[in-house]
């Protein structure tokens, strides 16, 4: 069975004001010393109000869920020791007027020098799913096939409607903020691994990016692991929704590998349609139409059902059909994280949004 791993990014918030607090180094130190997490599993992020966790390599969705819940509890307990709480929202409901401190590492200091305003506004949290691939060549071929589904995944995962104390009107404001970096958005189609590497090297040689970590495409080959990394997702309020996306993305990769082995043609969807479709997915989530894999607008629910149909064989082979299908149906009925944050805002204001986020962060 194809292995998977998940990375999640969390905010640290003041429980009274709901504002981000720059306590990441202290929280990480406590979380890594406990019996529930290791230093390697709890990592630093760009800004000091953020913490990242990474699961071990997993073979089943049950393993993914168990590790994520364990890590959320470890970081949450460490945060409580320092008088703050973790928040699994992709943008903070509120921000300080002054920027949060940058983590004191050379790479992060260089990013601040390169783009100070972008770094100051980079209080965004994503979920990254790594799926093992047989080779870099296979990884590029997979990326060419799954890129047409990235707007759909973005719409389904939308969990960042709030910014500076108000509703942005976007379901995934994180997607918009992240799209301002030089190399971001939906990746282009590549002719193969050699073409992928050649085009990246031109970006590096031209000084347009400082390192391969600044390839902010919403899917890319991992430089650390033999995986393809899907990065378009907002971090999820609930662990089980994160597990759902891990299952969907693994099935997408396995479906792409099977299609490649069978000699099926790669999807032919113009890059500008996918880019515009991504913006539209970030704007509306699942509340409007989506650009489907062939570039045509359709009702969001119909596109999601088409995605499930596309990956059905792979879900069955992994034994994930029942779990993933049930969670997708719940999503379609109950709405995205962005929908739930907006409901809380309407019912109880910003306090209710913060309460929702903090409660859901460590709930299975």
Task: Give the other-Cβ count within 10 Å of 59's Cβ.
Answer: 12
Is the pLDDT at 62 greater than 90? The verdict is yes
Is the pLDDT at 176 greater than 80? The verdict is yes
- Which residues make Cβ contacts (< 8 Å) with residue 354, sequence separation at least 6? 13, 18, 87, 93
Q: What is the DSSP letter of 39?
A: T
| Number of separate domains in the chain | 1
Instruction: Compute CA distances 320 → 192, 248, 257, whole Å.
Output: 30, 9, 18
pLDDT score recorded for residue 98 = 85
Average pLDDT over residues 21-41: 81
Of the listed ranges 38-42, 181-185, 270-274, 314-318, the one predicted with least confidence: 38-42
More confident residue, 37 or 360: 360
Q: Tokens for 239, please give them.
A: 């662990």
Average pLDDT over residues 16-34: 88
pLDDT score recorded for residue 34 = 61
Is the pLDDT at 165 greater than 70? The verdict is yes
- Which residues make Cβ contacts (< 8 Å) with residue 304, sequence separation at least 6? 152, 156, 286, 328, 331, 332
- For residues 133 and 252, the answer to whether their CB atoms sit within 8 Å is no
Instruction: Compute CA distances 204 → 79, 215, 295, whole Å.
Output: 38, 10, 31
Task: Give the other-Cβ count within 10 Å of 33's Cβ.
Answer: 13
* pLDDT band with cut points at 50, 70 and 90 for residue 230: very high
Q: Tokens for 50, please give them.
A: 């953020």
Helices of type H across the chain: 24-33, 61-81, 106-114, 116-120, 136-146, 150-157, 173-178, 193-205, 239-262, 271-284, 300-310, 312-318, 321-334, 337-361
Task: Report how far residue 324's alpha carbon sits from residue 315's, in angstroms, rounded to the nearest whole number.
Answer: 8
| Residue 48 φ/ψ, nearest 5 degrees | -75, 0
Average pLDDT over residues 42-66: 96
* pLDDT band with cut points at 50, 70 and 90 for residue 87: very high
- For residues 278 and 185, the answer to whether their CB atoms sit within 8 Å is yes
pLDDT score recorded for residue 39 = 66
Q: What is the percent of the chain with per-residue pLDDT over 70, rounded to a whole number?
A: 98
Task: Report how far residue 140's alpha carbon sits from residue 294's, in angstroms, rounded to the nearest whole number.
Answer: 19
Is the pLDDT at 363 greater than 80? The verdict is no
Average pLDDT over residues 318-338: 98
139-148 in b/e form (b: 16+ CB < 10 A) is bbbbbbbbbb
Task: Report how far residue 256's alpha carbon sits from residue 138's, in angstroms, rounded to the nearest whole number.
Answer: 9
What is the domain-level CATH number for residue 110? 3.30.590.20
Q: What mean pLDDT, rounded, does the chain reach?
A: 95
* pLDDT band with cut points at 50, 70 and 90 for residue 35: low
Average pLDDT over residues 134-163: 98
Q: Tokens for 212, please give them.
A: 């391969």
Report yes or no on whether pTM surpasses 0.75: yes
Which residue do the tokens 């709030």 mark?
A: 162
* pLDDT band with cut points at 50, 70 and 90 for residue 37: low
pLDDT score recorded for residue 96 = 86
pLDDT score recorded for residue 36 = 67
Average pLDDT over residues 218-222: 97
Domain that holds residue 24: 4-361
270-306 confidence digits (pLDDT tens): 999 999 999 999 999 999 999 999 999 999 999 999 9
Rg of the chain over Cα atoms, rounded to whole angstroms, equals: 19
How many residues appear in the chain?
Answer: 364
- Which residues make Cβ contacts (< 8 Å) with residue 346, sequence separation at least 6? none
Which residue do the tokens 């108000």 mark?
A: 166
Is the pLDDT at 184 greater than 90? The verdict is yes
- For residues 84 and 12, the answer to whether their CB atoms sit within 8 Å is yes
What element of type H or E holds 124?
none
Task: Report how far residue 125's alpha carbon sits from residue 160's, in angstroms, rounded to the nearest whole number.
Answer: 9
């Amino acid at each position: 069975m194809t292995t998977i791993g998940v990375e999640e990014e969390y905010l640290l918030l003041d429980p009274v004001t709901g504002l981000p607090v720059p306590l990441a180094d202290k929280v990480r130190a406590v979380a890594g010393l406990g019996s529930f997490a290791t230093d390697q599993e709890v990592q630093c992020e760009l800004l000091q109000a953020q913490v990242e966790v990474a699961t071990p390599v997993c073979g089943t969705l049950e393993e993914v869920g168990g590790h994520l819940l364990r890590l959320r509890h470890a970081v949450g307990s460490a945060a409580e020791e320092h008088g703050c709480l973790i928040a699994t929202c992709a943008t903070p409901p509120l921000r300080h007027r002054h920027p949060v401190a940058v983590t004191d590492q050379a790479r992060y200091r260089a990013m601040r020098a390169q783009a100070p305003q972008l770094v100051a506004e980079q209080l965004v949290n994503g979920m990254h799913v790594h799926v093992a691939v047989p080779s870099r060549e296979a990884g590029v071929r997979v990326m060419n096939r799954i890129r047409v589904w990235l707007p759909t995944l973005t719409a389904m995962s939308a969990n960042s409607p709030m910014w500076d104390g108000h509703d942005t009107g976007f379901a995934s404001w994180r997607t918009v903020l992240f799209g301002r970096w030089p190399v971001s958005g939906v990746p282009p189609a590549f002719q193969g691994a050699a073409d992928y590497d050649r085009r990246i090297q031109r970006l590096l040689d031209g000084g347009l990016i400082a390192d391969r970590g600044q390839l902010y495409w919403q899917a890319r080959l991992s430089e650390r692991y033999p995986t393809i990394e899907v990065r378009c997702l907002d971090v999820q309020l609930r662990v089980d929704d994160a597990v759902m996306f891990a299952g969907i993305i693994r099935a997408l990769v396995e479906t792409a590998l099977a299609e490649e082995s069978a000699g099926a043609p790669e999807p032919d969807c113009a890059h500008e349609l996918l880019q515009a479709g991504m913006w539209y997915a970030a704007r509306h989530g699942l509340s409007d139409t989506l650009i489907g894999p062939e570039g045509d607008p359709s009702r969001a629910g119909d596109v999601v059902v088409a995605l499930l149909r596309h990956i059905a064989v792979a879900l069955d082979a992994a034994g994930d059909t029942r779990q993933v299908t049930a969670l997708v149906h719940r999503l379609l009925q109950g709405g995205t994280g962005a929908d739930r944050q907006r409901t809380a805002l309407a019912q109880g204001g910003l306090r209710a949004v913060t309460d929702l986020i903090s409660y859901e962060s460590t709930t299975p």
